[in-house]
Structure formats: structure tokens, C-alpha cells
Amino acid sequence: DVKVTQSSRYLVKRTGEKVFLECVQDMDHENMFWYRQDPGLGLRLIYFSYDVKMKEKGDIPEGYSVSREKKERFSLILESASTNQTSMYLCASSSVGDTQYFGPGTRLTVL
């Protein structure tokens, strides 16, 4: 059974803190994705990676960075969290040109 896990379901951080969101998949997928989801805006792609140590900017990369040191793990980093980064963050993985499998999401609140 396919599995994408995210390190936290709920996270509360303070403005200016460095935040790490971790995502792990066990399906040996090449592609991994980070989205944020906000009411009225749908899912927006932040970054994606199609191979280890490779990354591509999505639609809204500003204020975020990513790391993919191992095939199964894709990390999203907020260098200095701000209140406008309060959101639901969703990680997904896929084989090339195939279905994306999503994690349960991390609801991040920045105070």
C-alpha cells in the first residue's frame, strides 16, 4: 500500500523562526512535490523535485527552500517564518507522468 507521511499534522511557530517540514514516501517515486492550500486559492505548487538533489520552482517559491538528499525524503524549509505562511502544507509523490499520492497534510500556524 502506498504511503506518504508528513512529520507533523499540526505545527505552531513564531514569526522569524526557521521551520522544517518533512515528507517521506516509500514507493521509490522519482517525483516529489510541496503544495500549500488556502481557502479560495486551491492548491498552489511551491517546489517540486524530479530526482535526488534536483529541484524546480513551482508557482509560489518565494520565502521557501527545499532539500532532497535522499530519494524518499523531501523537505520544505521556511527560512524565516511569517504570518502569511500560515497554511495547510501538502506533500505528494509520483512516478513520472503518473498519479500523485498525497500525505495527510501539515497545518502550520505562524504567530
Partner 1 sequence: SQQGEEDPQALSIQEGENATMNCSYKTSINNLQWYRQNSGRGLVHLILIRSNEREKHSGRLRVTLDTSKKSSSLLITASRAADTASYFCATDAWGAQKLVFGQGTRLTINP
> Contact residues for partner 1 (CB under 8 A)?
4, 31, 33, 35, 40-43, 45, 48, 50, 56, 58, 88, 90, 92, 96-97, 99-105, 107
Q: Please check whether residue 46 is in contact with residue 58, taking contact to mean a CB–CB distance below 8 angstroms.
A: yes
Compare residues 80 and 99 and give the one whose CB is closer to partner 1. Answer: 99
The distance between the two most distant Cα atoms of the chain, rounded to a whole number of Å, is 38
CB of 108 to partner 1, least distance (A): 13
Compare residues 31 and 75 and give the one whose CB is closer to partner 1. Answer: 31
How far is the C-alpha of 12 from the C-alpha of 54, rounded, in Å? 29
Could you count the other beta carbons within 10 Å of the beta carbon of residue 60? 14
CB of 6 to partner 1, least distance (A): 8
Compare residues 15 and 38 and give the one whose CB is closer to partner 1. Answer: 38
Compare residues 15 and 74 and give the one whose CB is closer to partner 1. Answer: 74
Q: Which of 88, 99, 47, 95 is nearest to 71 (CA)?
A: 95
